[in-house]
Amino acid sequence: MNRLTFKLEKRLTPSPVMVFIIPLISVLLALLLGGIFLVLTGEEPLTIYLLMFEDSLGSKYGLTETMVKAIPLMLTSLGVSLAFKMKLWNIGAEGQLYMGAMAATWLPLTFPYLPVYLMLPGMVALGMIAGGLWALLTAIPRAIWKVNEIITTLMLNYVAILWVDFLVYGPWRDPNGSNFPITASFVEAARLPGLGNSRIHTGLFFALALAVILAIVFKYSRWGYSINVIGSSERAARYAGMNIKRNILLVMFLSGAISGLAGMAEVSGIIGKLQHGISPGYGYTAIIVAWLSKLNPLAILIVSILFGALQVGGYAVQLVGVPATVATMLQGAILFFVLGGEVFTNYRVKLFSEKGEDLSK
C-alpha cells in the first residue's frame, strides 16, 4: 500500500487566486460546520440560515439595519487594520469606541446651544482624540519597553465600558429619564443627519472617505510604505533608518482615533444619547473583518456589510428562540477557516508517495 505524505513549500509571492477564493470558501465551510452543529443541538439549520438571510439582506428594512451595523464595523475595522499593518495588535477597538462615544457626548451635554457647524465637528474631534489617547496609553509602554499591547489594549476595554457605565448610572444620568441608565437626549444640532429618511446616517461617508484615504496612503505614500516595512521586518526597518517608536505611537493613536470616531457616529447618528452597552462587540468583530479583508481598506467596506448582515441575522433568529450568540460562533468559525486556508495562499501543498515521488506534479 502506498503511504502518502504531504509537504509544505513556501510560495515566494502569495497566490493571487487563493487570496480571493479562500475567504469565500471559508464562509461556506463555516456555515456548513455551523449547520452540522445546529443539527446536533436539535435545530433546523436551513430554516435558521434562511431566516438570517431574509431578515438581513432580503428586505428593505433588513438592508437598512445591515448598513446601520456595518458603519461602526467599517470604522473599527479600518482602525485596527492600520495597527495590524504594523503588527501592532490593537484589540482595544471596543474600548476606544466607548471612549470616543463618551467624549463626543460630553459636548452636547455641556454646551447644548452650540450651533451645528461647531457642534458636529467638535464632537468628531473630541471622539477621535479620546479614542486616540485611550490607545496611546498602551502604545507608550509598548514603544518604550515592549509591553505586550494585546493584553493592555484588551484590559482597557473593560475599564472603558465600566467608565461609561459609571457615567450613565451616575453623574451623567438624565434626571428626567425615569431611572434608566441613559443620558439626556442630544439636541438636534448634535445628531448626524440620516440619508433620506432612513436610519443609515452620514457616518457612512466617514467610513468611505477613510477607506479611500487609507488605500491611497498604503499604496502611494512613503509613510504607508514604511508602516508596511516595519510590519514585515522590524530589523530591516531599523537598518533603513525608520523611526519605529514614533510610528508605534502615531499608528496606535490614529488607530484608536478611528475607532473613537465609530463611537461618536454611533451616539450621534443612531442612539442620540449615551447609554449602557452601546456596542454589541463591534470592536471584536472588527478584528475578524480586518483579517478576512487582508487588511485591505476597500475590502473592509464590503466584508463589514457581510458581518453587519450576520449581526442582524443573529438578532432575527433570537425571536424564534435560537440564541443570538450563534452569530458570534459563526464569526469565530469563519476566522478559523480563513486562517487554515491561508496555508494554501502562502504555501504550495505537495503530495509525496512512500518512495518520495512528487505526485503533485
Partner 1 sequence: MSIQEFLIPLLAASVIAGTPILYAALGELITERAGIINLGVEGIMLVGAVSGFMVAVTSGNPWFGLLASMMAGGAVALIHAFLTITLRANQVVSGLALTIFGTGLSGYLGKAYIGIPVENPFSVMPLGPLADIPFIGPIFFQHDALVYISYVLVLVIWYYMYHTRPGLNLRALGENPAAMDALGLNVFYLRYIYVVAGGALGGVGGAYLSLAYAPSWLENMTAGRGWIAVALVIFALWNPWRALMGAYLFGGIDALGFRLQVLGIQMSPFFLKMLPYLFTVLILVFVVARHKGRLSTPGALGLSYDREER
Query: Which residues of the chain form contacts with partner 1 (CB under 8 A)?
Result: 8-10, 41, 89, 91, 138, 141, 144-148, 150-152, 154-156, 158-159, 162-163, 165-166, 169-170, 284-285, 287-288, 291, 323, 325-333, 335-336, 339-340, 342-343, 347
Amino acid in the structure at residue 254:
L
Distance of closest approach, residue 342 Cβ to partner 1, in angstroms: 6
Distance of closest approach, residue 155 Cβ to partner 1, in angstroms: 4
Torsion of CA 51, 53, 54, 60, to 10 degrees: 150
Residue closer to partner 1, measured from CB, 112 or 323: 323
Amino acid in the structure at residue 175:
P
> What DSSP letter does each residue of 184-220 carry, written as one string?
PPPPGGGSPPBSTTSS-BTHHHHHHHHHHHHHHHHHH
Question: Cα–Cα distance between 262 and 142 in angstroms, integer?
Answer: 24
Residue closer to partner 1, measured from CB, 105 or 268: 105
Nearest to 71 by CA among 203, 178, 169, 198: 203
Inter-residue contact 107 to 120 (CB < 8 Å) = no
Distance of closest approach, residue 44 Cβ to partner 1, in angstroms: 15
Residue closer to partner 1, measured from CB, 66 or 331: 331
Q: What would the grid cell of residue 338 be?
A: 480563513
Distance of closest approach, residue 9 Cβ to partner 1, in angstroms: 8
How would you classify the pairing of strands 347-352 and 5-10? antiparallel
Inter-residue contact 165 to 102 (CB < 8 Å) = no
CA angle 32, 33, 34 (to 5 degrees): 90
Residue closer to partner 1, measured from CB, 50 or 151: 151
Residue closer to partner 1, measured from CB, 225 or 347: 347
SS3 assignment, position 358: strand
What distances in angstroms separate CA 189 from CA 7, 115, 116, 194, one per listed residue? 62, 7, 5, 13
Distance of closest approach, residue 161 Cβ to partner 1, in angstroms: 9
Distance of closest approach, residue 254 Cβ to partner 1, in angstroms: 21
Inter-residue contact 190 to 196 (CB < 8 Å) = no
Residue closer to partner 1, measured from CB, 7 or 199: 7
Question: Cα–Cα distance between 48 and 45 in angstroms, integer?
Answer: 5
Distance of closest approach, residue 301 Cβ to partner 1, in angstroms: 21
SS3 assignment, position 349: strand
Cα 190 from chain centre: 25
Residue closer to partner 1, measured from CB, 9 or 175: 9
Residue closer to partner 1, measured from CB, 24 or 212: 24
Distance of closest approach, residue 117 Cβ to partner 1, in angstroms: 35
